[in-house]
Amino acid sequence: MAGKPKLHYTKGRGKMESIRWLLAAAGVEFEEEFIETKEDLEKLRNDGVLLFQQVPMVEIDGMKMVQTRAILSYIAAKYNLYGKDLKERAWIDMYVEGTTDLMGMIMYLPFQPADTKEKNLALIIERATTRYFPVYEKALKDHGQDYLVGNKLSWADVHVLEAILMVEECKPDALSAFPLLQAFKGRISNIPTIKKFLQPGSQRKPPTDEKFVAVVRKIFNI
């Protein structure tokens, strides 16, 4: 019996949060080893366990995996969240890549200078409501199923829900013009494994605040 996956990252969301989400949705328990100082990161680098000297790093199935996309693809395939054939996988990849672009904008917002934050926040809301959410709303309408791809939960559903909640943290009524996405959010949030992850006390991390930004800048010299 293999041990639980072990996640190596800082004590915040960042690029690891989507990995936490996907493992939680798959019902997989995981451990976390937090990088809290520059020395913690240097130790991992010096031990030779970071293929490109970067985190996130996940120990799983005897591998020390790096590169967020590679880790997520592996977890999705391993736990049957990656569609039933190549076409479904292609759709999942397209939805995930689009969502990742949107989430990246939100992820970097707290690290930006105050004078550009407001402008970038407005851009995030604009992109979410005119470029990304309409795509998912139309997909649900055309597909006519409870899920975005096929007729079962996939990585795309988990990723889109994570993105929706991130956008709503920026603008609570961001879904007001998207009734199918509102219903989708309710459905996916109530899947037992995801519902558990959304409860207080889970391994889900809070939104990035100034204190955490300072810690990250120190660890990564930025």
pLDDT digits (tens, 9 = 90+) for 130-186: 999 999 999 999 999 999 999 999 999 999 999 999 999 999 999 999 999 999 999
Strands, sheet with 31-34, edge to edge from the N-terminal-most edge strand? 31-34, 6-9, 57-60, 63-66
Residue 71 CA, chain-centre distance (Å), reads 12
Q: How far is CA 109 from CA 47, 206, 213, 217, in A?
A: 32, 15, 10, 14
Place 114 in a pLDDT band, splitting at 50, 70 and 90. confident
C-alpha torsion angle, residues 216, 22, 60, 58 (rounded to 10)? -10
Mean local confidence (pLDDT), 97-105: 93
Place 221 in a pLDDT band, splitting at 50, 70 and 90. confident
% the chain with pLDDT above 90 = 91
**Residue 119 pLDDT more than 80?**
yes
Query: 3-class SS at 121?
Result: helix
- Please state, in angstroms and rounded to a whole number, the distance separating the CA atoms of residues 74 and 71: 5
**Residue 106 pLDDT more than 80?**
yes
Place 190 in a pLDDT band, splitting at 50, 70 and 90. very high
Mean local confidence (pLDDT), 197-219: 93
- Please state, in angstroms and rounded to a whole number, the distance separating the CA atoms of residues 71 and 16: 10
Structural domains of the chain sorted by starting position, each given as residue range(s) with its CATH number in brackets: 6-79+198-212 (3.40.30.10), 86-191 (1.20.1050.10)
Which tokens hold the place of 213?
Answer: 């930004």
Q: Tell me, what amino acid is at 187?
A: R
Place 3 in a pLDDT band, splitting at 50, 70 and 90. confident
pLDDT digits (tens, 9 = 90+) for 56-73: 999 999 999 999 999 999
Q: Which helix (H) or strand (E) holds 213?
A: helix 210-220
- Give the model's pLDDT for residue 2: 62
pLDDT digits (tens, 9 = 90+) for 17-31: 999 999 999 999 999
Mean local confidence (pLDDT), 185-199: 97
Q: How far is CA 212 from CA 16, 110, 112, 205, in A?
A: 15, 9, 13, 11
- Give the model's pLDDT for residue 1: 45
More reliable by pLDDT, 8 or 53: 8
**Residue 93 pLDDT more than 80?**
yes
Q: What is the largest CA-CA distance in the chain?
A: 52
% the chain with pLDDT above 70 = 99
Among 50, 12, 7, 49, residue whose Cα is nearest residue 32:
7
